[in-house]
Amino acid sequence: MIINQQEKILLLLLKDDISLMYDQVKNEMSRDNFDTSARSLNAKNFVDTIFNEQKQCVKVTLKQNGKAYLQENHKARNPFFTENRRWAIGLLIPLILFILGYILKSVLI
């Protein structure tokens, strides 16, 4: 699962406290980033969120999926081999081999 930088910050803050309110993290991130990250992590099933009437996130609580993600990936780093990179690497390797084969054929003839 790929997460952005703001989601990573919020997840790592939740790692220690399990549940946070915006007032506890206002020095770490802006209100907009907190709300956006909370919504996104909620959609990824990592956190539960509580919103007020102004649709601002009031409280974020780490769910079991979020805990499991942090246990396996304690620094919340994104994986190197994403689908796009796998596709690009899978395309580049045969292309490089084809070019090397062509060069070697030209040299040997």
Measure the CA–CA gap between 50 and 77, rounded to whole angstroms.
26
pLDDT at 15: 82
Give the tens place of pLDDT for each residue, 46-85: 999 998 898 888 899 999 888 888 887 756 665 555 666 6
| pLDDT surpassing 90 at residue 87 | no
Measure the CA–CA gap between 5 and 83, rounded to whole angstroms.
19
| Chain length of the chain | 109
Q: Where are the domains of the chain?
A: 5-78, 82-109
Q: Name the residue among 20, 3, 22, 23 with its Cα closest to residue 70.
A: 3
| pLDDT surpassing 90 at residue 86 | no
H/E segment holding residue 59? strand 57-62
Task: Tell me the fold of 5-78.
Answer: Arc Repressor Mutant, subunit A (1.10.10)
Measure the CA–CA gap between 47 and 93, rounded to whole angstroms.
39
Give the tens place of pLDDT for each residue, 9-37: 888 888 877 888 888 988 888 999 999 99
